[in-house]
Amino acid sequence: KAGVTQTPRYLIKTRGQQVTLSCSPISGHRSVSWYQQTPGQGLQFLFEYFSETQRNKGNFPGRFSGRQFSNSRSEMNVSTLELGDSALYLCASSLGDTNEKLFFGSGTQLSVL
Amino acid sequence: EDQVTQSPEALRLQEGESSSLNCSYTVSGLRGLFWYRQDPGKGPEFLFTLYSAGEEKEKERLKATLTKKESFLHITAPKPEDSATYLCAASQAQGAQKLVFGQGTRLTINP
């Protein structure tokens, strides 16, 4: 069974640009969560989508947004990039019901110059 | 504010030298306490979920335990391949898919 796939693996952007990251969950998983990982703050929850609806949201500004498609694939968008947005963005999928066991992808490493 | 704190930040052991990692949490309505392992360049890999005080789970050289305020990850006779960052995370009764992570313990096992 294929794992969680995130693309691209690396991205370099400049301040003010926007970026879209993609995540394909494990087949059969309906929940996709996004996390930001930085050396200073560790892993922080961005948002979770379940059956195309945002079910949970973390404490990030509105520049961070996401969506989920009918096939459970998810995208995350960051607009007006800032230097502080440089981080590893991790996607995790799960069955989404009472099972909270998350399966993480390898992440997208975003560098903002 | 919900918080998960792990100690130590880093731990260096000799192969075969057993030790424990600590995770203390202040989370209202704890639903579950999770342990993950993260290798460099990879996403976290699930190890254990603990749901109630007194619960224990084991996997090879690892054993996780839970009290009302903290969790421990015991590593018995570790091998170099156990070197990784170990992350602890908590989920609340509501928002079950939202995890609050600790900063992690970077474990190095020297041969």
pLDDT in tens, B73-99: 999 999 999 999 999 999 876 666 789
Residue in chain A closest to B92 (alpha carbons) equals A100
Please give, rounded to a whole number of angstroms, the shortest distance from the CA of B110 to a CA of chain A: 24
Q: What is the pLDDT of residue A8?
A: 97
Are A94 and B104 an interchain contact pair (Cβ–Cβ within 8 Å)? no
Chain B residues within an 8 Å CB radius of A50: 97
Please give, rounded to a whole number of angstroms, the shortest distance from the CA of A4 to a CA of chain B: 10
Are B95 and A90 an interchain contact pair (Cβ–Cβ within 8 Å)? no
In this model, does residue A80 exceed pLDDT 90?
A: yes
Please give, rounded to a whole number of angstroms, the shortest distance from the CA of A80 to a CA of chain B: 26
Mean pLDDT of chain A: 94
Q: What is the pLDDT of residue A99?
A: 56
B32: nearest Cα among B6, B64, B79, B74: B64
Please give, rounded to a whole number of angstroms, the shortest distance from the CA of B42 to a CA of chain A: 4
A vs B, Cβ pairs < 8 A, gives 57
* Cβ neighbourhood burial of B41 (10 Å; 0-12, 13-18, 19+): exposed
| Pairing relationship of beta strands B62-66 and B70-75 according to DSSP bridges | antiparallel
- Dihedral angle computed from the Cα positions of residues A35, B12, B57 and A30, in that order, rounded to the nearest 10 degrees: 20
Strands (E), chain B: 3-7, 10-14, 19-26, 30-38, 45-50, 56-59, 62-66, 70-75, 84-92, 99-101, 105-110
pLDDT tens-digit map of A33-63: 999 999 989 999 999 999 999 988 999 999 9
Residue A23 confidence class, pLDDT cut points 50, 70, 90? very high
| Residues of chain B where predicted confidence (pLDDT) is lower than 70 | 93-96
Mean pLDDT, residues A6-16: 97
In this model, does residue A96 exceed pLDDT 90?
A: no
Q: What is the pLDDT of residue B57?
A: 97
In this model, does residue A72 exceed pLDDT 60?
A: yes
Q: What are the Cα distances from residue B37, in Å, to B11, B59, B106?
A: 14, 13, 10
A60 close to B (CB below 8 A): no
Residue A101 confidence class, pLDDT cut points 50, 70, 90? confident
B92: nearest Cα among A48, A72, A84, A29: A48
Q: Which of B34, B42, B98 faces A48 most closely, judged by CB atoms?
A: B98
Q: Which residue shows structure tokens 């990850």?
A: B73
